[in-house]
Amino acid sequence: MTVVWAGLIFYLSTRTFGSPFSVWLLARILGVLHLRVSGTTFDLLQYLMRRGAHLTVYGILAVFIYYSLAGEKQPAWSFRRAVASVAIAGIYSLTDEFHQSFVPGRDGSLLDCGVDTIGALLGAAVIYLSSCLVNPARGEPTSSVGKSR
């Protein structure tokens, strides 16, 4: 599933899903909700929508990477695996932005890489918090840090 999600991110980086698409989509959403906003507000909403999309898709990618690195078993929380998943997602973000620099109508952005990496960190935080809920008796997630494998 991780490779499929990475492929989806690559596809979303094509010309089809550039800024004109998000303008169109936001206009449709506001229309369905019967909302009218100023041009400045529309631009802000579009910016937030695009950044939110970056956070979301890279947060999900980091989660997929984390569990892919764990193998078949249901893993306990691993700080090392979380760091690796964020790093891999961040590196993938760099390659995706590099790809976008060759796509007509798109451009590569280090700012987007930063937002993507923050999204990956949020994905790792969700894994950590969910592991705390799975093992509430200890008040902390099970950790493999300091344990031999």
- Residue extents of the structural domains in the chain: 2-15+54-134
Q: Which amino acid is at 52?
A: G
Long-range pairs for 89-94: beta carbons < 8 A, 24 or more residues apart: 89/58, 89/61, 89/62, 89/65, 89/116, 89/117, 89/119, 89/120, 89/123, 90/116, 90/117, 90/120, 92/6, 92/9, 92/61, 93/58, 93/117, 93/120
pTM of the model: 0.82
Nearest by Cα to 20 from 103, 106, 96: 106
pLDDT tens digits for range 74-99: 678 899 999 999 999 999 999 998 98
Contact, 111 vs 23, CB < 8 A? no
Contact, 25 vs 48, CB < 8 A? no
pLDDT tens digits for range 6-60: 999 998 888 778 888 989 999 999 999 999 999 999 999 999 999 999 999 999 9
